[in-house]
Amino acid sequence: MQTRIERSLTRTIAWSGVGVTFGGAGIWLFWWGATGEGFRFLACLPATALLIAAVSCVLAARSLTGHAACPHCGASLLADSTEVLRAIHCPRCLGYARVVRGRLEELPDDWVDAEARFTAKVPEDVIDWPGCAMCGEPPTRSRVHDHLVPDTGLNLAIAAVALPTIGVMRVGGGTLHQLSVPYCDAHDDCVELDWESGGLVIRFRSLAVFRAFCAANGDEAAESSGACG
């Protein structure tokens, strides 16, 4: 299923208007500071900040005003028609889509993203790996990934219970979580660990391996990953 990416005229005008306002104010302030005497030259500093803000608003008018319906559930999503290499995540159904020729479509089953963004919760019991964490082929080795969780009252309470599949150690300023991830000879360092909603999550680049991981680990892994089929 595909949905067309459309540009919001109201948002485009709003962002462009703010950009023009900042740009005009920045040019006047820069001129006033550069042509004056004494300490008026210091006005060039905020003027530069205003000009940078103006450029940012113009860029936002181009990239933050496109929208399309999610091909999975129909929810409205921000979508840049020129962005073709990044998977777009729907916060309602947790499905994924991509941009193709000005349209939003479901990701193909063999999609491999430029970044690790397909997110699954790390189970609290034994992890059933579907194969290499990048391609799904039989693994030949493993690599230990780690993620440091800074100290807070809540994090300290959660970290006090060590999970069987995760190495947990106290270090200066936080708790270090470690996870052994399988790889084949052709791949290495293709996933990322993160901490979300009081638990460790793993992010994959491969949609197929992400889905296989969710299916192999049941509802525990699917809690934060959305539809896995």
3-class SS of residue 155: helix
- Nearest alpha-carbon partner for 207 in 122, 115, 80: 115
Asked, for residue 227, whether it belongs to a domain, the answer is: no
The answer to whether residues 127 and 214 belong to one domain is yes
Measure the CA–CA gap between 19 and 136, rounded to whole angstroms: 47
pLDDT in tens, the chain (229 residues): 767 666 666 666 776 788 888 888 888 888 887 777 766 777 778 888 888 888 887 776 665 557 788 888 888 887 765 555 577 888 787 788 888 777 788 888 888 988 898 888 888 777 889 899 999 999 999 999 988 887 665 444 444 444 445 566 666 667 788 888 999 999 998 999 998 877 888 999 999 999 899 888 875 555 444 444 3
Strand order in the sheet with 199-204: 118-121, 199-204, 192-196
Residue 101 is assigned to a structural domain of this protein: yes
Domain assignment of residue 228, yes or no? no
**In a shared domain, residues 164 and 98:** no
Q: What is the pLDDT of residue 227?
A: 44
Determine the pLDDT at residue 182: 94
Let me know whether 177 and 134 are in one domain. yes
CA distances from 27 to 14, 36, 41, 60 (A): 20, 14, 13, 20
38 and 86 together in one domain: yes
- Write down the pTM of the prediction: 0.62
Pick from 79, 106, 133: which residue ends a domain? 106
Task: Look at residues 106, 133, 162 and tell me which one is the last residue of a structural domain.
Answer: 106
Report the number of distinct structural domains present in the chain: 2
- Residue 88 belongs to a domain: yes
Q: Give me the helices (H) in the chain, please.
A: 9-35, 44-63, 153-159, 207-222
Report yes or no on 69 lying in a domain.
yes
If asked whether residues 101 and 130 sit together in one domain, one would say no
User: In terms of domains, do 122 and 215 share one?
Assistant: yes
Q: Are 48 and 142 contained in the same domain? A: no
Q: Are residues 84 and 125 in the same domain?
A: no
Helix (H, G, I), strand (E, B) or coil at 13: helix
Using CA atoms, how far apart are residues 27 and 30, in angstroms rounded to an integer?
5
CB 166 within 8 A of CB 177: yes
Cα–Cα distance for residue pair 44/227, rounded to 1 Å: 52
**pLDDT recorded at residue 197:** 76
Asked if residue 153 and residue 201 are part of one domain, the reply reads: yes
Spatial separation of the C-alpha atoms in residues 224 and 205, rounded to whole Å: 16
The boundaries of the domain holding residue 102 are: 2-106
Q: What does the DSSP 8-state code read for residue 118? A: E
- Are both 190 and 210 inside the same structural domain? yes
Q: Are residues 127 and 213 in the same domain?
A: yes
Residue closest to 63 by CA, chosen among 78, 48, 75, 46: 78
Q: Is residue 113 part of a domain?
A: no
The size of the chain, in residues, is 229
Domain assignment present for 112? no
Residue 203 counted as domain residue: yes
What pLDDT is recorded for position 226? 44
Using the 3D structure, point to which of 72, 106, 140 is the last residue of a domain.
106
Half-sphere exposure of 90 (CA within 13 A, CB side): 24
pLDDT at site 109 = 83
89 and 128 both lie in a single domain: no
